[in-house]
Structure 1
Amino acid sequence: MKRINVKGTIISNDVQWIYDLFDIEATSPSSVLDGLESANGEDVEVVINSGGGDVFAGSEIYTELKSYSGNVTTKIVGIAASAASVIAMAGKRVQISPTAQIMIHNVSSRAWGDHRDMQHEADVLKNYNKSIASAYILKSGMKEEKLLELMNQETWFNAQQALENKFVDEILFEEQTQFVANLGSSPMIPQQVIDTIRNMKDKFNPVASVEESESDILMQQKAKLNLLKLKGDVE
C-alpha cells in the first residue's frame, strides 16, 4: 500500500518551494498528485495531521483523491482541521486515532472596499461554505442545514463524536487509547515574507547551483532570521 502524507499547512503549488526552503512542513496538491501517480492504481493510505490552510488547495487535493482509480483510505493521526478535514472526507474508508480530532468551520478571507464590496465578499463566503459542506454531506449523510450550523459554530469532534456523526468509519486501536495533552500545528508563512522571497527567487531557488557565493549564503541566513522574528521565535 502506498503511503501519502498530508501534514503541516495546506498550501498552493507555487509556494511549496518556499516552505521547503525553510524546512517547514506543508502539503500542496502537486505533492499529493505525485504520490498518486507513483501509486499507479495501487491502494493508497493518506495520513493526515494538519490544521488546514488554503481552501482551494484543499479542494484540489480532495478532488484528486476522490478521482483516484484505486482504493483510498484516509487516516487522521493528529488533527484534521479546516481544509484538512475536507481532505479527510475523500477516503473510501476514513480512520481516526482515538487521540485525534476533526474541526470544521466557515471559510474565511481578507477583503477591503466599501459596503458593497463587503456584502459581495460575504455572499461569496456563504456560497463557498456550501461547497465545502458538500464534502461532509457526501461522507456523513447529514443535512446541509445542520452541517452549515456546525461549521458556523466552529465544531470540534473527538474520535467518538466523529464516529457517531459518520465523519469517520473506524476508530483505530480503541483498546489502547492514550490521550495527549497539547497540540501543535505548522505555521503559515506570512504573505509579506512570501512576496519578498518571490522577488528574490534567483537567490533562493532550491535547484540552483551548489556553488553559492558567500553573499548568497548570507542573504539566505538573513531571510531565515527575519522569518523567525516574524514568527516570534527570536527577538
Structure 2
Amino acid sequence: MNKFWQFKNTSEDTAELILYGPIADSTWWGDEVTPKNFAEDLKNLGDIKNLVIRINSVGGDVFAANAIYTLLKDHKANKTVKIDGIAASAATIIAMAGDTIEIPANGMMMIHNPMVVLLGAYNAEELNRMQDTLDSIKKTIIAAYKNKTGKSEEELSKLMDEETWMTGEEAVKEGFADKLMFENVNAVLNGNKLYINNIGHDLTAFRKKPNFVQQAPKPDNINTNQNQKEDKVKMEIKTVADLEQHFKNLVEEIRNKAKEEERERIKAIDEIAKNIDPELVMKAKYVEPMNAEKLAFEAIKNDAAKGSNYLNDLEKDIKDSNVLEVEAKVVKDNSQDIVNKIVEGANKRRGK
C-alpha cells in the first residue's frame, strides 16, 4: 500500500501529519485495511498533546476524507491545521478537524458538491440511487463545514453548488479558517495544472479555476515587442554583412570554428599524404575539398585503377607483338631443325 500520509513526532509531546497531494489513491469505501493502518499510525504517535496537520492538497476520495476527519476529531490532542498552499474538495473536510485552522493570505480553499466517476452502462434506477448516495455524502460534508463555520445548511449548500474558490483572507472571513499565517505561497495556474509551492495539482475534475491565481504566460504572448523586433531583424538580414551587423559575436564564433575545423582537416590529410599521389592530395586539399578518410578511399580506388590499367596495357602489348604466335610456330614447325643445329655445334666443339 502506498501511504498518502506521513506521521512524525517532532518533540516529546508534539507530532505532525503531512497530507500533500491527492487524498488516497483508491476509495476507502468497503476498505477495512487502509483506514485501520491510518488509525494505527495515529495511535503510535503516543500520548501527544499537540498535533500539527499540514495540508497542500486538492482533495481526492471523499470516503477517506470523512474517515480521517472522524479519527482526527476524536483524538484528544490539540489539533492545528496549517494550509501550506491549498485545501480543496475532500481536503477541506480533513481541515475541518482542526481546533485552529491557519492559512496564508494568498492560500486557497475550494468547496464543491461531491462527484462520482462513471464507467459502463446504467439505467435510470441505478442513476437515481447514485444521486441519493451523492446527496447523503453532501449532507455529511455540510455537517463538517457547519460545525466549523456556523453557517446554515442552505448557505453551505449554495456555496458548494457554485464550486466556490476562496483566498486565505476570504476563507477566514467565511469562517472556514481561523487566522492568517505569516507565510505566503507561490502559485501559478497553467491550464488544468495548479502549481503551489512547487507541488503540482490537477484541476481537471473541477468546472471552475481560481481566478485570483497568476496565469502561466503563453508562448505566443511572451514579450510581443521583442518578437516583433526579432521578426524585423530577420527581414533585414540578406547578406553575411547584415548578419554580422546584428550578431557580430555569433559570426565571429562561427568563423573561428570553421578555421579550426579547416586546420584539422588539412593536418589529417598531411598525416596520410606520404604514400598518396601528390596530384590527388592537392585536389583533396583545395580543388574538391574532402577529409582524410575520403582521401584515403579515393587513393585506394586510384591505385586499383592504375593496377588495372597496367595489366590491360601489358596484355595489349603482348597481343600486338605476336610473341605468342611466333613462339608457337617455332616449336611446331622448326623444332627438329633447331635440335639438329644444337647437336652439330656441340660435336664441332668436341672435335668430332
| TM class, shorter-length | 0.5 to 0.7
AA in 2 matched with 1:151: M
2:159 is matched with which residue: 146, 150, 154? 150
Select the structure that is richer in helix.
2
- After superposition, residues 169-208 of structure 1 pair within 5 angstroms as 169-173=178-182, 177=184, 180-182=187-189, 183-184=194-195, 185-186=200-201
Unaligned runs of 5+ in 2: 1-13, 29-33, 204-352
Whole-Å separation in 1 of the counterparts to 2:128 and 2:18: 38
Q: CA deviation at 1:180?
A: 3.1
Unaligned runs of 5+ in 1: 16-27, 189-235
AA in 1 matched with 2:16: R
Please state if 1:66 is matched with 2:73. Answer: yes
Instruction: Classify 1:186/1:40 alpha carbon distance in 2 versus 1 (closer, same or farther; 3 Å).
Output: farther
2:88 and 2:111 in contact (8 A); partners too? yes
Q: CA deviation at 1:181?
A: 3.0
Q: Secondary structure at the match of 2:45?
A: helix
Please state if 1:8 is matched with 2:21. Answer: yes
Deviations 1:132-189 (A, max 9, x none): 111100000000011011111111110111011111111011xx6565334334569x
Whole-Å separation in 2 of the counterparts to 1:125 and 1:68: 28
Partner of 1:120: 129
Q: Secondary structure at the match of 2:165?
A: strand
Instruction: Classify 1:36/1:94 alpha carbon distance in 2 versus 1 (closer, same or farther; 3 Å).
Output: farther
Partner of 1:89: 96
TM-score, normalization by structure 2: 0.46
Whole-Å separation in 1 of the counterparts to 2:142 and 2:115: 14
Whole-Å separation in 2 of the counterparts to 1:39 and 1:102: 31
Runs of 4+ in 1 over 4 A off after TM superposition: 12-15, 176-179
AA in 2 matched with 1:51: V
TM-score, normalization by structure 1: 0.67
Partner of 2:59: 52
2:16 and 2:51 in contact (8 A); partners too? yes
How many residue pairs were aligned?
174
Partner of 1:194: none
AA in 2 matched with 1:106: N
Partner of 1:23: none
Give percent identity, aligned residues only: 34
Q: CA deviation at 1:67?
A: 0.5
Deviations 1:18-47 (A, max 9, x none): xxxxxxxxxx75347514531423201000
Instruction: Classify 1:107/1:14 alpha carbon distance in 2 versus 1 (closer, same or farther; 3 Å).
Output: closer
Larger RCO (CA under 8 A, 6+ residues apart): 1
AA in 1 matched with 2:48: G
CA RMSD of aligned residues (A): 2.4
Q: CA deviation at 1:14?
A: 8.6
Q: CA deviation at 1:3?
A: 1.3
Please state if 1:77 is matched with 2:90. Answer: no
Looking at CA atoms only, which structure, 1 or 2, has the larger radius of gyration? 2
